[in-house]
Amino acid sequence: MKPNRILLACVAAALLLTNTLTFATARPPYLNRSLPVDRRVDDLMSRMTVDEKVGQLNQLFYFSQFMKPEMMEPGLREGKIGSLLFMTDPATINRFQKIAVEQSRLKIPILFGFDVIHGFHTIFPVPLALASSWDTNLVERVQTVAAREASAAGIRWTFAPMLDIARDPRWGRIVEGAGEDPFLGARIAAAQVRGFQGSDPASPGRLLACMKHFAGYGAAAGGRDYDGAYISDAELYNVYLPPFKAAVDAGVGSAMSAYMDLNDVPATGSAFLLRDVLRTQWGFKGFVVSDANAVGNLVTHGFAEDKSDAAARALTAGVDMEMSLPIDPVSGAYSSSLAKHLQEGRVTKAQLDEAVRRVLEAKFKAGLFENPYADESRVASIHNDPDHRRLARIAAQRSAVLLRNEGNLLPLDTKFSSVAVIGPLADSKRDIRGSWSFADDIKSAVTVLEGIRAKVRPGVKVEYAPGVDIARAYPSIFETFFGRRPAAWGEAQRREEFDKAVALARSSDLIVMVLGQHEEMSGEAASQSSIELPGRQRELLESISALGKPVVLVLINGRPLDISWAVTRVPAILEAWHPGTEGGNAIADLLWGDATPGGKLPVTWPRSAGQIPIYYARNLTQEPETKQGFTSRYWDIPTSPLYPFGYGLSYTTFTYSNLRVSKPTAKLGEPVEVSVDVENTGRRSGEEVAQLYIHQRSGSASRPVRELKGFERVALAPGEKKTVRFTLGKPELTYWSAASKGWVQDPATFDVWVGGDSTATLQTKFQITR
Ligand code: BGC
């Protein structure tokens, strides 16, 4: 070959090689959407350095309020960050994503997460309220809309549903869950997962869900947030875990490890929870993220020696990704020490790869490699979709619980020509929404005062007075981020406002009092020793009730409160919880009869904090106190709650009859069908939640006096009667027995009650035999 030919051949070969390389770099198999996820993950992992792998396990907060994008950008470019949370602005999300996808070596997209708990732009009722609807279809629709709004902004992962069973209203986070009951909690859990993820979290408008806080967080000692929990195995399996199991069965994509110690082992370092239960017993395939700083916090527990030890112990226990709030991207426990552990053999390659694989799998399955960006041009139209507001109003109507309605004061008569709307929460846009409302347009929230003004007929005078002011003893962490409350009133203003409110009430025909708690009085880091109405609210209620005028009390709050004074003096009480953006309209609809209350309490309502913990599914270890003898549990107050679990009134009445079982005796494992007729015996249409409770009379362990095992919310026109059917199969009749240390179904006699709350009296029974 002539030298110039040789040169030409070399050039051609070099070009070919470059082309091949370029092609290989531009389109490696992991970027080929038509390949199965496993292959893509294998291919990607084969290209990753240890630092890039550790980077995928590193999740950081980004607070636009006090951080600058420049703080994050180098870490994104270098592949040191796998996920970011707390961002809500689509432009910044896209800006960061572009760096990861175009400028990082392997172009791995960032998974953006946020606490989409009860809405994003449109705020729905808080989770405790949604659970009060006992309407799983509604809950699913709500979370579908929440997912649609959040994903429009570029968020692809929500830290919800929160599935902690809570039996202590002092614990502020009771507001974030579905209340005290494992059966109701499990149904609501599955509905939320379906709502967020749909059948595929990668489909447009859906999010990856994250069940939290795994597990036992709601049993915090003394109701103090973050405190340790001691839960027996029986209570764990029978009470605290069922909602999580239901979420896993519904296909939830991720889980968050809880902050606290469970029986002396931090949940974030618990191989029992994260491996034995989650993976081995339940076959969970998603990934686990720690709660914020929970890995580093293992040192605080007196568990890990230092941050580096914490990283090794969390990873080997089964925490795949660390959520942390570091100063720079490499100061988290994982990012600062996993590479070293790998080198020194404290963590194996297999252990590291297992975690990385799960995170990457989630990113592929969420469709992030194909659709990494938010479509900024569509955000506003999705957020302002009027259907979302309509659903928010319906959700708030359906979540309210009517606690009292003496003399059928509600729905309100149109004869009232002047209405006094009184109370510190009556015109508060902030408090109508509830905790975890960070991304909405607060101005568009409708207060109770605004809802009432829009509702009354022309000519009716509606006037407002706050009457009292309320405040936490010290500000909440969220207040420091999202705006302090105005300073408390001075003594002179206090007296003046109080008197003004009483005078306004005196000159009005009807008084609607809106009392309760600020949104930051419940939620995270918002536990409370007392459950009294804060401030001078009760005093105001007493003074106004003394006027002898019709008074309706509307409660805006995130936990049951001590209202024992009110329940014998105030004729009408509506628990609205924090009802969300459309709350004021929904409350007015309910008060004036354009909607009928049908919600039921998902928690037992105590008379006072002294009864806590109080829940209906307790074991009866002594004769009931209705009998004479050594039976009284307290001598100063009754043992019974103020309102039982499942309780709630309507504007109509319902009667239950004809309770029957398909067979009086069934063999172990065979299902029993139960049916009952529910009739609307009043003069208005309404909805009733028919609830089925069982009691197992004997067995290998003591069983609760009652356990919810079925419910259905039924709509009935006046005079209409419907038959409601339930199935009691093996899952409903099986429990984890402390005596045999495992799941059992005992041959036994079972009592069955069906009715409108957990004190239902219509009863039958059946027997399970060998
Ligand atoms: C909370 C979690 C939340 C996380 C991220 C933590 O403080 O416990 O529930 O998802 O912060 O915001």
- Ramachandran assignment for 5, one of left (phi > 0), alpha (psi -120 to 50 degrees), beta (any other): alpha
Question: What value does the mean pLDDT take over residues 244-272?
Answer: 98
For residue 26, the model assigns a pLDDT of 64
For residue 22, the model assigns a pLDDT of 41
Over the stretch 15-37, which tens digit does the pLDDT of each residue have?
A: 444 434 444 456 899 999 999 99
Ligand 1 residue neighbourhood (C-beta within 6 Å):
85, 115, 159, 212, 291-292, 524
Two tokens at 562?
Answer: 């001590």
For residue 331, the model assigns a pLDDT of 78
Q: Are 177 and 603 in contact (CB under 8 A)?
A: no
Q: What is the mean pLDDT of the chain?
A: 95
Over the stretch 288-315, which tens digit does the pLDDT of each residue have?
A: 999 999 999 999 999 999 999 999 999 9
Confidence of residue 675 (pLDDT cuts 50, 70, 90): very high
Report the nearest-CA residue for atom 6 of ligand 1: 292
- Give how far the C-alpha of residue 115 lies from the chain's centroid of Cα atoms, to the nearest Å: 10
- Which residue among 63, 159, 171 has the greatest number of ligand 1 atoms within 8 angstroms of its CB, and so is best to mutate? 159
Two tokens at 222?
Answer: 């003394």
Above 50 in pLDDT, residue 371? Answer: yes
The DSSP bridge partners found for residue 229 are 262
CA of 393 to the centre of ligand 1 (A): 27
For residue 623, the model assigns a pLDDT of 81
Comparing C-alpha atoms, which of 122, 124, 128 is closest to residue 173?
Answer: 128
- Which residue among 83, 155, 256 has the greatest number of ligand 1 atoms within 8 angstroms of its CB, and so is best to mutate? 256
Over the stretch 472-499, which tens digit does the pLDDT of each residue have?
A: 988 887 776 667 888 889 999 999 999 9
Range of lowest pLDDT (327-341, 427-441, 538-552, 727-741): 327-341
φ, ψ dihedrals at 715, nearest 5°? -95, 130
Query: Across the beta sheet with 763-769, what order do the strands follow?
Result: 665-667, 763-769, 748-755, 686-696, 707-716
168, 181, 291, 309: the catalytic one is 291
Report the nearest-CA residue for atom 12 of ligand 1: 115
Question: What value does the mean pLDDT take over residues 514-533?
Answer: 96
For residue 11, the model assigns a pLDDT of 45
Confidence of residue 634 (pLDDT cuts 50, 70, 90): confident
* Rounded Cα gap, residues 383 and 28, in angstroms: 37
For residue 668, the model assigns a pLDDT of 97
Q: How many CB atoms lie within 10 A of CB 219?
A: 25
Report the nearest-CA residue for atom 2 of ligand 1: 291
For residue 27, the model assigns a pLDDT of 87
Confidence of residue 167 (pLDDT cuts 50, 70, 90): very high
- Which residue among 174, 207, 524, 527 has the greatest number of ligand 1 atoms within 8 angstroms of its CB, and so is best to mutate? 524
Confidence of residue 65 (pLDDT cuts 50, 70, 90): confident
Query: To the nearest whole percent, how much of the chain has pLDDT over 90?
Result: 90
Question: What value does the mean pLDDT take over residues 725-730?
Answer: 98
Question: What value does the mean pLDDT take over residues 350-379?
Answer: 97
- One-letter amino acid for residue 8 of the chain: L
For residue 466, the model assigns a pLDDT of 98
CA of 446 to the centre of ligand 1 (A): 27
CA of 132 to the centre of ligand 1 (A): 23
Over the stretch 426-439, which tens digit does the pLDDT of each residue have?
A: 999 999 999 999 99
State the Cα torsion 622-626-630-631 to the nearest 10°. 40
For residue 4, the model assigns a pLDDT of 52
Above 80 in pLDDT, residue 565? Answer: yes
* Rounded Cα gap, residues 759 and 750, in angstroms: 16
Active site residue 291: yes
Confidence of residue 12 (pLDDT cuts 50, 70, 90): very low
Above 50 in pLDDT, residue 738? Answer: yes
CA of 62 to the centre of ligand 1 (A): 13
- One-letter amino acid for residue 176 of the chain: E
Q: How many CB atoms lie within 10 A of CB 494?
A: 16
φ, ψ dihedrals at 688, nearest 5°? -120, 140
Q: Which helix (H) or strand (E) holds 39?
A: helix 37-47
pTM of the full structure = 0.96
For residue 39, the model assigns a pLDDT of 98
Comparing C-alpha atoms, which of 285, 284, 282, 306 is closest to residue 295?
Answer: 306
